[in-house]
Amino acid sequence: MNSIRRALVAVFVLGLVRPLAALAAWNKEAFSAKSAGDALKNLGIANAQPSKDLTVEIPEIAENGAVVPIEISSTIPGTTALIVVIDKNPFPLITRFDFKEGALPFVKLNAKVGETSDVRVLAEAAGKYYVTTREVKVTIGGCGG
Amino acid sequence: MKLVAIAVTAAAAALLAVGASAQDTAKEIQRYRDMIAEGSPAELFELDGETLWKKPQGPKNVSLEKCDLGVGPGVLKGAYATLPRYFKDADRVMDLETRLLYCMTTLQGRAPEEITKRPFGSADKPSEMESLSAYIAAQSKGMKLEPGLSLPKEKGSFELGRAIFFQRTGAWDFSCASCHGQEGVRIRMQDLPVLYKPQFARPVIATWPAYRVSTSQFVTLQWRMNDCFRQMRTPEPTFGSETTVALIHFLTVTAQGETYNGPGIKR
Amino acid sequence: MPGPMKMRATLGQGFTDVRVLMTHPMETGQRKDSEGKLVPMHFIQNLTVKVNGKPVIEAQTSQAISRNPVFSFRLKGGTKGDKIEVSWVDNEGESNRTEVALA
């Protein structure tokens, strides 16, 4: 009994059991970068090659920049991550998705696009990077109602 | 002759380019609308609405589950598609929100001011009307819109709504028809639908109430009518007034027969 | 208390289609409230998708994801009864999760 209690105390003291928030990593530096170039550099992404196998579906015109749908699918063999960068956003890095065994390199999400901008989607596959770029024109619609 | 031919061809090409680009714009906007429709946050309001429908509230401490929305007490399936309609107990034509207000005051014993004080919510705190509207409207998805039109008061409400639609008023001397009365008109990038014509009213009425992405709010029909009046620079109508119900009635009758496909999602 | 979360998982052609909706303000820290005060940053930072308890997708997200986020994923294969869980954690340490069994 005593040894079990001692082991548990040790576990907590050593900080081996941490709250969920601390366990999940969030790349603060990359997400705080104010330019797309800095964000990519921070993620260690260089020499990204354009690829037709990295498909990005995104409307050319967004009726409102608050919700811009982006659908990404990679058929590049060995894709393990997808990254989205919106060049003109105040903080260009939007997201990084890491795919493990059991998931397909596919994601559809909604992003805020501050103004008409290039949207760059990158894929990481077998240590190399690939990129597909699309432009989204952001408008403000309606009567504002 | 040859120069004229070239000039004409160039002019035609230019015209074609302008025409084509307007069409491309419309196509791209439709693509935006289709993409955001796949997965609408309106569903989150439906979940909240279900909770509110079942929550005992007010001095009588009962839920809304015995509220008769037109097809029997507590029956939700297909109810929204029959509104607006005449209700004998209230002796008036009611839309969804006026009927909910009636049930909140009679069934739950709540004071009307408690609800009408803040009928339209905000992104951070939706009002009950929004969540309830989302939930109840969703129970009519896939059903044909068949608002009441056979009883004298229903006919009267429809006629009143039509008169209001075309009535110019307010600081700018606008009527609904000023924006929604002619084809080929738009505000910024949005084509304005001619709402007194069934073919244009149908796809619109079939997708309200709706989640507005630009404000992250779920907007009900009473709220949308209020917004229109505000944008026309007229005094805002009272929540659940004869005016707003008549207008909603007129629009729904104009769209009748259309398969309801809401709650929707808009810019 | 975070708002509702809803998930739908359906078997497609050799993959499972997952769509999840989350209630979250995703505040950028740049928006002003009705009194003109800046609303502080409050946004989801991490997402995890698990199948039968095993993480298959880990995501890091910024405040630029739209308010009330909606995500779609695709999982390889899929068998009836598979437990699919999506959870999130935000910058204030709040979290939420939802789970469905593949029908």
Q: How confident is the model at residue B26 (pLDDT cuts 50, 70, 90)?
A: confident
CA distance B77 to chain A (A): 31
C52: left (phi over 0), alpha (psi -120 to 50) or beta: left
C60 contact partners, CB below 8 Å, separation of at least 6: A25, A26, A27, A31, A95, A96, C45, C46
Per CB-CB distance under 8 Å, the chain C contacts of B47 are 4, 6
- Asked whether A57 and A70 are in contact (CB, 8 A), the reply is yes
Which H or E run contains C5? strand C5-11
Q: Which domains does chain C have, with CATH numbers?
A: 5-101 (2.60.40.10)
Query: Two tokens at B208?
Result: 């309200």
Kindly report whether the peptide bond that precedes residue B112 is cis, defined as omega within 30 degrees of 0: no
Q: How confident is the model at residue A21 (pLDDT cuts 50, 70, 90)?
A: very low
Beta pairing partners, A86: A119
Cα nearest neighbour of C20 on chain B: B39
Asked if residue B111 has pLDDT above 60, the reply is: yes
- Of chain C, the end-to-end C-alpha distance in Å amounts to 29
C-alpha C60/C-alpha A84 separation (Å) is 11
Domain ranges of chain B: 1-38, 42-266
C-alpha B253/C-alpha B259 separation (Å) is 13
Domain ranges of chain A: 26-138
Q: What are phi and psi of B200, to 5 degrees?
A: -95, -30
Percent of chain B with pLDDT over 70: 93
B148-176 pLDDT, tens digit per residue, is 999 999 999 999 999 999 999 999 999 99
Q: Which one, of B100, B116, B109, B138, lies nearest residue B218 by Cα?
A: B138
* Runs of H (alpha helix) within A14-47: 20-23, 28-32, 36-42
Interface probe for C, chosen from B40, B43, B52, B118 (most Cβ of C below 10 Å), is B43
Which H or E run contains B3? helix B2-37
Structure confidence at residue B4 (pLDDT)? 59
Cα nearest neighbour of B39 on chain C: C70
C-alpha B264/C-alpha B80 separation (Å) is 14
Query: Two tokens at B205?
Result: 């009425």
Q: Is B228 a catalytic residue?
A: yes
* Residue C42 touches chain B, beta carbons under 8 Å: no
**How many residues does this entry show for chain C?**
103
Structure confidence at residue B6 (pLDDT)? 59
Q: How confident is the model at residue B24 (pLDDT cuts 50, 70, 90)?
A: confident
Is the domain spanning A26-138 CATH 2.30.36.70? The answer is no
Q: Which one, of B229, B249, B165, B172, lies nearest residue A145 by Cα?
A: B229
Question: The domain B42-266 belongs to what CATH superfamily?
Answer: Cytochrome c-like domain (1.10.760.10)
Q: What are phi and psi of A11, to 5 degrees?
A: -60, -45
C-alpha B194/C-alpha B251 separation (Å) is 11
Per CB-CB distance under 8 Å, the chain B contacts of C5 are 44
Structure confidence at residue A6 (pLDDT)? 63
Interface probe for B, chosen from C1, C42, C66, C68 (most Cβ of B below 10 Å), is C68
- In tens digits, chain C (103 residues) has pLDDT values of 788 999 999 998 889 999 999 999 999 999 888 889 999 999 999 999 999 999 999 999 999 999 999 999 999 999 999 999 999 999 999 999 999 999 8
Contact assignment for B33 to A71 by CB distance below 8 Å: no
Cα nearest neighbour of C39 on chain B: B124
Question: Could you identify the residue written with the tokens 């952001």?
Answer: A138
Asked if residue A19 has pLDDT above 60, the reply is: no
Helix B221-231 × helix B242-254 angle, to 10°? 110
Taking residue C30's Cβ as centre, other Cβ atoms within 10 Å add up to 11
A100: left (phi over 0), alpha (psi -120 to 50) or beta: beta
Are β-strands A61-62 and A128-138 bridged in parallel, bridged antiparallel, or unpaired?
Answer: parallel
Point out the residue among C51, C57, C62 whose CB comes nearest to the CB of A31: C62
Angle at Cα B243 formed by Cα B241 and Cα B247, nearest 5°? 120
Asked if residue B3 has pLDDT above 80, the reply is: no
Structure confidence at residue A4 (pLDDT)? 63
- Asked whether A114 and C84 are in contact (CB, 8 A), the reply is no
- pTM for this predicted structure: 0.86
Point out the residue among B39, B40, B44 whose CB comes nearest to the CB of C3: B44
How large is the average pLDDT for residues A46-51? Answer: 95
Question: Could you identify the residue written with the tokens 């403000």?
Answer: A140
- Of chain A, the end-to-end C-alpha distance in Å amounts to 67
C-alpha B77/C-alpha B141 separation (Å) is 9
Structure confidence at residue C98 (pLDDT)? 97
Cα nearest neighbour of B229 on chain A: A145
Q: How confident is the model at residue A9 (pLDDT cuts 50, 70, 90)?
A: low
* Residue C38 touches chain B, beta carbons under 8 Å: no
How large is the ipTM?
0.95
Q: What are phi and psi of A63, to 5 degrees?
A: -60, -25
Position B170: which residue type? G
* Residue C72 touches chain B, beta carbons under 8 Å: yes
- Asked whether B213 and B266 are in contact (CB, 8 A), the reply is yes
Per CB-CB distance under 8 Å, the chain C contacts of A19 are 93
Contact assignment for A103 to C75 by CB distance below 8 Å: yes
Interface probe for A, chosen from C18, C24, C66 (most Cβ of A below 10 Å), is C66
- Asked whether B36 and B29 are in contact (CB, 8 A), the reply is no
B47-72 pLDDT, tens digit per residue, is 999 999 999 999 999 999 999 999 99
Mean pLDDT of chain A: 88
C-alpha B100/C-alpha A115 separation (Å) is 41
C-alpha A52/C-alpha A69 separation (Å) is 20
Q: Please give the DSSP secondary-structure letter assigned to residue B17.
A: H
